[in-house]
Amino acid sequence: MSIIQIQPAVSVSGEIVVPGDKSISHRSIMLGAIANGVTTVRGFLRGEDNMSTMHAFRAMGVNIDDDGETIRITGCGLHGLKEPGDVLDCGNSGTTIRLITGLLSGQSFFSVVTGDQYLRKRPMKRVVEPLTRMGAGITGRSGGTLAPLAISGGSLTGIEYQSPVSSAQIKSSLMLAGLYADGETRVSEPSLSRDHSERMFSLFGASLVRHDNGVLVRGGFELTAQEVTVPGDISSAAFFMVAALITPNSELLIKNVGVNPSRTGVIDILLSMGGDIRLLNEREVSGEPVADILVRSSRLKGVRISGSVVPRAIDEFPAVCVAAARAEGVTSIRDARELRVKETDRITAMADSLKTLGIVVSETEDGMDITGSDLLLGGCVDSCGDHRIAMSMSVAALVAASPITVSDIDCVATSFPTFFSLLAHVASR
Ligand code: S3P
């Protein structure tokens, strides 16, 4: 188990490019695998989570070639996947296991999916229950609520599903099953979660209709291979945005970042806190909005964060919590219960970590109140095996009174293998 000690910095400056978007990278492999023709993917994130998706599809007979720059997926059509000879290991990746479970529900073969010690504790009932209603046979630990899950796919029928939580993983899992179902599969959610599946399904020619906070997929339509260019991941950029905002004398340009409105909650939150953030060179690539993001040091103030911005910033709360720890006044986070079922319980993990650094934090069931301070103490914090806790604490270290040691940092490789070298590159000591 690796540890790192991060020293305080005097500024965070320069020009960087962050690795490709994790969500879009997963989907490019999945849709490429079941499309007709050869899909090429540029900007693919080669993090551990996406490699889990790639290995799973290779195990189902899909030819995926990586020359180090471009991924080439030889699609085998809607019904060309082969029964895997072994358990599909999704590692730490919730997106892999939940989306693939939807896709496997539509296959006329048997499969088993599992993951690491963290993934095996995360709730699967949220996809198992509606997929079972569509006709899939799924069993698993704890009455089918925890992985490993065993899936006997086959003949599915479309359903209308009102998801109780705003979750792109639930929505996308049902959309993938819907490609194989008789009739129409409708999914709606309380407020819109990331819509990369909707965008990529349309790009690949799926029969799909969108409506307010919902989507309808018609089954039985073949997909066509595409050329996909993946933008930089705003979830990775968020750590550097906060780093530049909270460190004095900073000016950082983060180039080529995906700014899909269903993902830009973090920008809206940081702007409302008084952050100096500008989007430059806005454009569209492979059906996704992209921009360069210019960030300068700012005096931040506490805000209340709740409602529909929460799913639009769901992965960025660890970074937002660090901004809140440096802001003037109290930041209140509510309606964020979902944070308790991420890679770890991120409400407790962030509250405990910030308390170790001397910040006053009180947890609520669905969020927390953070009282910002000019003084952040150094010390030792544990990532709890969660990549985003590790990276947010490393950013906090830039403005701490003394070094911060972060333990169990190997998990950073799941989403951002180059994080520490990039941080060292922009931080001046
Ligand atoms: C993701 C959806 C979100 C997010 C995760 C990636 C996706 O999860 O937290 O990191 O790619 O669909 P939920 O659907 O559980 O909110």
Ligand 1 centroid, distance to 169 Cα (angstroms): 5
pLDDT digits 0-9 by tens, 175-198: 999 999 999 999 999 999 999 999
| Span 367-415, pLDDT tens digits | 999 999 999 999 999 999 999 999 999 999 999 999 999 999 999 999 9
Report CA(249)–ligand 1 centroid distance (Å). Answer: 34
The CATH number that domain 22-229 falls under is: 3.65.10.10
Cα 93 off chain centre by:
9
- pLDDT of res. 1: 80
Atom of ligand 1 nearest to the CA of 170: 14
Q: What is the pLDDT of residues 237-286, one digit of tens each?
A: 999 999 999 999 999 999 999 999 999 999 999 999 999 999 999 999 99
Give dist(CA 181, CA 183) in Å, integer.
Answer: 6
% of the chain with per-residue pLDDT over 70: 100
Average pLDDT of the chain, as a whole number: 98
Give the contacts of 315 (CB within 8 A, at least 6 positions apart): 235, 238, 342, 388
Token pair belonging to 420: 């520490």
The pLDDT value given to residue 51: 98
Catalytic-residue membership of 315: yes
Q: Which residues surround ligand 1 with Cβ inside 6 Å? A: 23, 95, 167-169, 172, 193-194, 314-315, 338
User: 3-20+231-428 in CATH: which number?
Assistant: 3.65.10.10
Global pTM value:
0.98
The single residue of 116, 195, 292, 315 carrying the catalytic annotation is 315
The predicted structure's pLDDT at residue 134:
98
Atom in ligand 1 nearest the alpha carbon of residue 315: 9
Q: Which of 12, 6, 10, 4 is nearest to 244 (CA)?
A: 12
| Residue extents of the structural domains in the chain | 3-20+231-428, 22-229
Which tokens in the block code for residue 307?
Answer: 């409602």
pLDDT in tens, 48-62: 999 999 999 999 999
Query: What type of residue is 54?
Result: M
Spatial neighbors of 42 by CB under 8 A, at least 6 apart, are 69, 70, 71, 227, 228, 229, 230
What share of residues in the chain are helix, strand, coil (percent, to 5)?
35, 30, 35
Q: Are 245 and 270 in contact (CB under 8 A)?
A: yes
Taking each helix axis as running N to C, give the angle between helix 48-59 and helix 94-105, from 0 to 180 degrees, rounded to the nearest 10.
20
Read off the pLDDT of residues 65-94 as tens digits, 9 standing for 90 and up: 999 999 999 999 999 999 999 999 999 999
C-alpha of 43 from chain center:
16
**Do 421 and 5 touch, CB atoms closer than 8 A?**
no
Q: Give the CA dihedral 22, 25, 27, 30, nearest 10 degrees.
A: -130
Residue type, 100: I
Q: What is the C-alpha end-to-end distance of the chain, expressed in Å?
A: 27
| Closest-lying ligand 1 atom to the alpha carbon of residue 314 | 9
Give percent of the chain above pLDDT 90.
99
* Mean pLDDT of the 1-10 span: 96
User: Cβ distance 376 to 325 under 8 Å?
Assistant: yes
Strand order in the sheet with 146-152: 88-89, 110-114, 146-152, 137-140
d(CA 346, ligand 1 centre) in Å: 14
Position 154 pLDDT exceeds 90: no
